[in-house]
Amino acid sequence: MPKHSNPYIKKKTPLTRISISLPSDLLTKFDNSMVRAGYADRSKALQTAIHSLIDDYSWKSGDNTEGAGALIMMYNNHVYNQDKKSTRIQHKYSDVISASTHVHLKDDNCLETIIVKGDINKIRDLAKHLSENRGIKSLKVNFMSVV
Ligand code: NI
Q: What is the pTM of this model?
A: 0.74
Task: Give me ligand 1 centre to Cα 89, in Å.
Answer: 16
Please say if the pLDDT value at position 72 is more than 80: yes
Angle at 125 between CA 101 and CA 142, to 5 degrees: 50
Classify 18 as helix, strand or coil: coil
d(CA 70, CA 63): 18
Distance from residue 18's CA to the centre of ligand 1 (Å): 50
Give the whole-angstrom CA distance, residue 68 versus residue 30.
Answer: 27
91-120 pLDDT, tens per residue? 999 999 999 999 999 988 899 999 999 999
Q: What are phi and psi of 33, to 5 degrees?
A: -65, -40
Mean pLDDT, the chain, as a whole number?
A: 88
Query: How many angstroms is it from 125 CA to the middle of ligand 1?
Result: 24
Domain limits of the chain?
24-60, 66-145
* Cα angle for residues 56, 142, 63 (degrees, 5° grid): 40
Q: 101 alpha carbon to ligand 1 midpoint, in Å?
A: 10
**What's the confidence (pLDDT) of residue 80?**
66
CA of 81 to the centre of ligand 1 (A): 11
Q: Report the alpha-carbon distance of residue 74 to residue 104 in Å, rounded.
A: 10
Render pLDDT for 1-27 as a digit per residue (tens, 0 to 9). Answer: 455 666 667 678 888 999 999 999 999
66-145: which CATH topology? Alpha-Beta Plaits (3.30.70)
